[in-house]
């Protein structure tokens, strides 16, 4: 019999041997798609849960603190609040985002990476958001590294930049603590029960700085430690959580690259890092100003800048050790305990702290959530040219 099937129909139907393979590949792709969709939904559900916990912890702790102050004085102080005392702290955080965006562009250029303003600003907003929904505010920096990696930027380089920022922050805070240490000693008798917070904050600042500096000077030790604990219970737990049985080897390779990156930044571009440290100091002063403005409005008195700045840094550090998302509630409690003793007006001080947290934490928690859920995170948009310069596709088209 003559075969009436045409070549076109043969191509459409496919050979009998190819059909199962194609169907299998299609099925696998479908399963992978469903798995990815399911994981994304689970991740979003966990994020919403973290936001809810942060809000609930903040409400419960702040209500408890409110029960300890004079209601009449509290409401009188609140009547003095203006829209400006809410808007200014909120806008100060936007200014901090902008400064940190410029810092990213300045430092990444030393690795021949031209990061766009949009991606750098997005990274800062999302980094602050994840800090606000993770216990101890520890989730911000890791997610910033993840974001840069998804963009197509080398993870070792982005880890280097983000980790360097962490070291700079601790160095600046340590410098402020040392500069105003004598003020802290004098404050011990004034703040009463808050004295232990100041002492604990000073100790925490010193310990954190030493640990980070040692990690900076000997980053390979992180890899050595990972390889040593790989077969232990902790190592097996890390492998289970990360779903990566080779996490220790990857950490070891990453730590070696981290050391080379540190040399590029701190040895060959020292003045760039000095400028970056100065800009972080500006950031730190702006964060403090965001609280000082409502505190000045509510209490009606001037708090000496050295005592206020020292209290601001030390209380902020201690609150990070309390396992509430983003220090929600614990931040308010720590600052209330110390600053109310300095102002002598507990109710008015609490009102100022609540306005500050509403403007700089809760409102930006909403901004960060809206940004994360409604502005898609770009993937693999950065590529390295033949000249060794890494930039986004959009910027390349713009130059063309």
DSSP secondary structure, 98-127, as one string: HHHHHHHHHHHGGGTEE--HHHHHHHHHHH
Q: Name the residue among 73, 66, 144, 98 with its Cα closest to residue 300.
A: 73
Q: Is residue 264 one of the residues assigned to a domain?
A: yes
- Report the chain's terminal Cα–Cα distance, integer Å: 62
- What lies within 8 Å, CB to CB, of 244 at 6+ separation is 250
Q: Apex CA 200: angle with CA 198 and CA 202, to 5°?
A: 70
Domain range enclosing 360: 56-395
Q: Which two tokens stand for residue 304?
A: 């000496």
In a domain, 262, yes or no: yes
Tell me 192's DSSP state: G
Cα distance between residue 145 and residue 130, in whole Å = 12
pTM: 0.76
- Per the domain annotation, does 361 fall within a domain? yes
Is 211 inside any structural domain?
A: yes
pLDDT reported for residue 43? 65
Estimate the share of the chain in helix, then strand, then coil, as percent rounded to the nearest 5: 80, 0, 20
Burial of 270 (0-12, 13-18, 19+ CB in 10 A): exposed
Within a domain: 38: no
Residue 125 lies in a domain: yes
- pLDDT tens, the chain, 400 aa long: 444 444 444 444 444 445 445 444 554 444 444 554 555 566 667 777 777 776 776 667 666 666 566 566 667 666 777 788 889 999 999 999 999 999 999 999 988 899 999 999 999 999 888 888 877 666 678 888 888 988 988 888 888 888 888 888 888 888 888 888 777 766 665 666 656 666 776 777 777 777 777 766 676 677 777 788 777 777 776 666 556 677 777 777 767 666 666 777 777 788 888 999 999 999 999 999 999 998 888 887 778 888 888 888 888 777 667 777 777 777 888 888 888 888 888 888 888 888 898 899 889 988 998 998 888 888 888 888 877 778 876 654 444 4
As for how many domains the chain has, the answer is 1
What's the Cα-to-Cα distance from 222 to each of 188, 228, 248, 385, rounded to whole Å? 38, 10, 10, 32
83, two tokens? 């829209």
Alpha-carbon gap, residue 133 to 365, rounded angstroms: 8
In a domain? residue 13:
no
Spatial distance between the Cα atoms of 181 and 94, rounded to a whole number of angstroms:
31
270 located within any domain: yes
Beta bridge partners of 376: none
Report how far residue 326's alpha carbon sits from residue 233's, in angstroms, rounded to the nearest whole number.
29
Question: In the prediction, which pLDDT does 289 show?
Answer: 94
CB 200 within 8 A of CB 320: no
Distance, C-alpha 308 to centroid of its chain: 24
User: What pLDDT does 394 receive?
Assistant: 60
């Amino acid at each position: 019999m003559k075969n009436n099937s045409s070549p076109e129909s043969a191509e459409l139907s496919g050979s009998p041997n190819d059909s199962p393979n194609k169907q299998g590949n299609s099925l696998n792709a479908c399963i992978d798609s469903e798995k990815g969709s399911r994981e994304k939904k689970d991740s979003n559900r966990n994020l919403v849960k973290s936001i809810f916990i942060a809000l609930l912890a903040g409400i419960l702790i702040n209500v408890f603190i409110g029960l300890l102050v004079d209601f009449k004085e509290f409401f009188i102080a609140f009547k003095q609040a203006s829209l400006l005392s809410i808007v200014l702290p909120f806008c100060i955080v936007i200014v901090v985002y902008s400064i940190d965006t410029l810092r990213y562009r300045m430092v990444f250029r030393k690795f021949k990476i031209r990061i766009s303003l949009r991606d750098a600003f997005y990274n800062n907003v999302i980094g602050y958001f994840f800090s606000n929904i993770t216990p101890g505010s520890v989730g911000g920096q890791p997610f910033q590294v993840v974001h840069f990696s998804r963009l197509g930027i080398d993870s070792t380089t982005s880890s280097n930049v983000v980790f360097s920022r962490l070291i700079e922050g601790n160095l600046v805070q340590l410098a402020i603590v040392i500069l105003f240490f004598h003020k802290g000693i004098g404050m011990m008798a004034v703040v009463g029960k808050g004295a232990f917070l100041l002492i604990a904050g000073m100790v925490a600042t010193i310990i954190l700085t030493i640990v980070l500096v040692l990690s900076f000077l000997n980053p390979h030790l992180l890899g050595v430690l990972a390889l040593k604990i790989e077969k232990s219970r902790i190592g097996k737990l890390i492998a289970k959580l990360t779903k990566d049985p080779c996490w220790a080897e990857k950490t070891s390779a990453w730590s070696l690259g981290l050391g080379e990156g540190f040399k590029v930044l701190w040895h060959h571009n020292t003045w760039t890092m000095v400028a970056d440290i100065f800009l972080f100091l500006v950031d730190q002063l702006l964060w403090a100003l965001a609280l000082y403005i409502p505190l000045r409005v509510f209490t009606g008195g001037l708090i000496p800048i050295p005592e206020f700045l020292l209290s601001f840094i030390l209380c902020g550090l201690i609150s990070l050790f309390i396992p509430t998302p983003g220090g929600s509630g614990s931040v308010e409690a720590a600052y209330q305990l110390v600053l109310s003793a300095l102002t002598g007006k507990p109710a008015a001080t609490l009102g100022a702290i609540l306005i500050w947290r509403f403007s700089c934490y809760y409102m930006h928690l909403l901004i960060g959530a809206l940004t994360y859920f409604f502005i898609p995170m770009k993937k693999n948009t950065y590529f390295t040219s033949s000249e060794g310069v890494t930039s986004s596709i959009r910027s390349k088209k713009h130059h063309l």
